[in-house]
Structure 1
């Protein structure tokens, strides 16, 4: 079933609906704004389909319509004298991100996006791309964009900067933490970007520069091999990936790392295992409501949802997910196409990923992550719920906040939430943390006047949370479990003095206490959960008094045990 032609057609079905919106070197349709210029958003929407088209072309696929669209678009977009010019770039320009997609084309499919260009167009395109060397890029995974641009220009025999290339590779090394993990810039993110960005681009470099720079290529392959040994814990048996951190609207890009490994010829696991992770993830995504009524990928996660978006999500942003189709570059006779899909290997029930500051438990084929929550000052959209909850699960997803004026609009699943004078206060300031082999210890504060020490301990039934709270206020606190999908009448909710439970035909979450709480059910504001448009949250409600308070909450997230 899963032949090369099957996935070629799948890719064509994803990109065909946007064909009619091409306007030279821009793609323009439904307009909502990101924090960069609208022109850059249109260039982004033009460039990002290349993440799927380039491997499609490099692997022998033919689509004359899109070939013509890109030659026409590059010709007008790179020409300063043309009304469709992409514009001159400034420091930290969003267009640098999209240059990486063009570089991808020049490296792997030059016969489609470079050789058909006329001489003047080639000169213009070279000059526009080279301008990345004259400006500042964000000090993060963006450094790889400039690496790829210089590699691409070198590969097509045009002016490039070896000096800048060497500097950027050295800077990338400074982000490396060990055991395959990088830290993504000064804010300290350690999320799926490490696979989706650092290793994906590193493996592109390794494939493209194998003969020119074998030493560096081997280093990138070795690091990716090490990373895979812990990144595999982010994937459930059914293909779901752990929703944690930013940029979740790229969806199946979560699995792009595995395709890059296969292309680069590294085998941290058997080919059948990696094929299974990759294909299950893509197929799982395409079974969901991720397209709008015209067939265009929406901004959101399981459904269209701007509430959970980052400030940098424009209309074409989700097409970065097409990086997952890198495996279309494999030759027709590659063993990937004939090998069996294998199940996930046996994994540890509890895994410490020290470099990522988290524990991951593995039960019933599903992963739950318990992060320390170190990201507190990266203001780009709903960062608190994306990084600072006590637990993250693909099975439940998580909620984002609509407001902090009521507990239902705050929709705080998997958090300890304080309500003071009508204001909902959540975890915000990190004071210290320690991730151990069997627990996560965090000292934090939601607001001046509160000091909290939380110990999270995974168990066979879920996890426990012990909180020591020093408060300057008398107030109410809610210690909440996972958000459970509530499809109108099929959700069962119960509450009692020391227990609250919510379940449906595929989810179960129960919250208990032995320290004087009161069970309650929080009716989440609609569209706050990234997976389900309606959810309820079982929680324990505690009376917090001035001075020292100690509470303990048990979260049971499955019926066994």
Structure 2
């Protein structure tokens, strides 16, 4: 990653920010760069922002609403220094209401999503922008927000959007919003799974939306509703503290977040809950670590070129990446990155801006953390600074076999394969659809997950148990019902130049080298799983597989070992590794197979790999439901 501060940034401060060089001035410079680029693309007196030539009216509202939220944060923390923004947005609201240019809030509408950002922005600027509006404009805003009452929305974090609008109107005496708010917050409680984690709708949909949705909207709702929600606010604070205790470890030594889940184009929105803790008086982290983490997240994306032009791409850094864009994403969607600038609502005198940065835990020592809610095991290694997220319980959408959710491992240094011919970081039957997890267990050393695979209408049972062994992960799996079908075990995918020699295949192994990392997979053995049967090795074929062209000469590669025709009931043992250097092979011996576990010896250690016997998860085969809050 580049280490030179961009020319549009202030000079680095290596005294108070020895790790990043970033101060509050760097945050304001980044925010102003985005706002300047937005204003250059604004029309309708600033009430619409157009980021694409084919943008619809909804897209243009999205461009306005999300950048207004960023402007509101700038104004809230520095009202005297942002008079030009106050005047600019007061004019925009007056024009938008008078001309009726913003789309109506209807059933399942994107406009409701954007209106919630507008409401939070107006709440933050109630003494500036809102105070500058005339009575007719204020009534028009209230009327627009009220359109959401009684409409249908997605039965996930979207229930909080209508509640945000109801809370805003309630706070200003426009309408009684208590029923809408109580209903939405009760529904959110249905999804709480512990450790501060919520599933985003029924099922097991765990991702970064916990950071910038479930630990975002409730606090603004609580504040707008006032003392009547003090008991809920106390619970929300407790859950935020529990969440940050684990979530802080999903960022590596560069403060790059683990690449997992949807809407990753929001980038540094993942910093939002760290700022929220400061604003809510939640002492989950020291202020010095809060500053280090949040500044590191901003710097990670700035160094990667996200703000080179001031316009955020539909991607991870500067270059657009269609494979990581959701169907609901438009050209203005990335600007929910504004949520990560929440710290700008704190004045320059706040101690969080003056505390000297202190290192994160992974910069000092190895990290191992169990997140029981999503059934995740976080493994961060100080020697390479990479965070590995071992996933046993996050599925995403119940009817979609999504690579951003259904993998055995995600990391802060790699990204999953989307589409193409190979499945990374997993055990699979070629061409099979992986169904949601049936059972899952996680512990300090590893975990286990049980799934069903659909291979052309054939039901395959997959039981996987994994343990961390130094820099590698050893997996033991039992696959039943796949007789005659080809299988595959695979490691992490890397992006590399097409000209670079990257593959290193042995009889039972394969490795890919790129960007200073080696991703490797080695099949220790495959046998009939029943103890009475003699060991029967499977036919193997190792390969490093190029999935697809990403950008120019960049190719996404995944090391994989292909298995020949499987027997009806097979036990597979393999290890995967991701490290700067090649990982020494793991040798196992003294294998014993039992109904509920497999035992083996690695070096002098006797290890037990048990299939998950947890209470089965509720059946969840329905597509996304909708709800009238």
Common topology (TM > 0.5): yes
1:418 aligns to what? 429
**2-structure distance, mates of 1:373, 1:31:** 41
**1:462 CA drift (Å):** 1.9
Q: 1:298 aligns with which of 297, 313, 324?
A: 313
Report the TM-score, using the length of structure 1 for normalisation.
0.88
- After superposition, the Cα gap between the structure-2 partners of 1:417 and 1:213, relative to the gap in structure 1 and judged at 3 Å, is closer
Q: Deviations over 1:231-289 (max 9, x none)?
A: 12211121011111111111111121111111222111211112111110111011114
Structure 1 residues 22-421: aligned runs within 5 Å:
22-24=42-44, 25-31=47-53, 38-60=56-78, 62-63=81-82, 66-79=85-98, 82=99, 85-206=101-222, 213-290=229-306, 294-302=309-317, 303-345=319-361, 349-364=367-382, 365-375=385-395, 377=397, 384-401=402-419, 409-419=420-430
Distance of aligned partners of 1:417 and 1:533 in 2 relative to their CA distance in 1, 3 Å threshold: farther
Asked if residue 457 in structure 1 is aligned to residue 480 in structure 2, the reply is no
State the partner residue of 1:427.
Answer: 434
Deviation of residue 91 (structure 1)? 1.6
Going from structure 1 to structure 2, the CA distance change for 1:527 and 1:187 (only over 3 Å counts) comes to farther
Give the deviation of 1:45 after TM superposition: 1.3
Which structure has the highest helix share of the two?
1
Structure 1 residues 411 and 182 mapped into 2: Cα distance closer, same or farther (>3 Å)?
A: same
Per-residue CA deviation, residues 50-81 of structure 1 (Å, 9 max, x unaligned), is 232111100015445544443333233334xx
Unaligned runs of 5+ in 1: 402-408
CA contact (8 A) 1:256 1:325 kept: yes
Contact 1:500/1:510 (<8 A) preserved: yes
Q: Distance between the aligned counterparts of 1:168 and 1:453, measured in 2?
A: 37
- Please state how far the C-alpha of 1:123 moved relative to its aligned partner: 1.2
Q: Relative to 1, partners in 2 of residues 1:139 and 1:42: Cα closer, same or farther, differing over 3 Å? A: same
Distance in 1, matches of 2:323 and 2:394, equals 23
Distance apart, 1:553 and its partner CA:
1.5
Change in Cα spacing, 1:42 to 1:473, as seen in structure 2 (3 Å) is farther
| 2:450 alignment counterpart | 442
Contact 2:193 2:374 in 1 (8 A): no
- Aligned mates of 1:17, 1:327 — CA distance in 2: 21
Q: Report the Cα offset of residue 376 of structure 1.
A: 5.9
Cα separation, partners in 2 of 1:412 and 1:339, compared to 1, 3 Å = same
Distance 1:397 1:528 in 2: 14
Mapping of residues 530-541 of structure 1, within 5 Å: 533-541=554-562
* Superposition deviation, residue 31 in structure 1: 4.9
Partner deviation per Cα, 1:343-399 (whole Å, 9 max, x = no partner): 1136774322111122222222332112225536456xx861011011100111222
Residue 510 of structure 1, aligned match among 511, 520, 527 = 520
Hey, what's the Cα distance between the residues in 2 that align with 1:221 and 1:177? 16
Structure 1 residue 110: Cα displacement: 2.0
- Between the aligned partners of 2:416 and 2:502, the Cα distance in structure 1 is 19
Distance 2:295 2:371 in 1: 25
Distance 1:325 1:486 in 2: 32
TM-score by length of 2: 0.79
Tell whether the 8 Å contact from 2:74 to 2:82 is kept in structure 1 after alignment. no
SS at match of 1:493: coil
Deviation, structure 1 residue 128 = 0.5
When the two structures are aligned, how many residues end up with a matched partner?
A: 538
Cα distance change, pair 179–536 in 1 and its aligned pair in 2 (3 A): closer
Tell me the equivalent position of 1:18. Answer: 38
Q: Counterpart of 2:91 in 1: which secondary structure?
A: helix
Is 1:9 aligned with 2:20? no
RMSD in angstroms over aligned alpha carbons? 2.6
Distance 2:145 2:294 in 1: 32
1:491 deviates by 4.8
The equivalent of 1:405 in structure 2 is: none
Residues 359 and 440 in structure 1, CA contact (< 8 A), matched pair in contact too: no
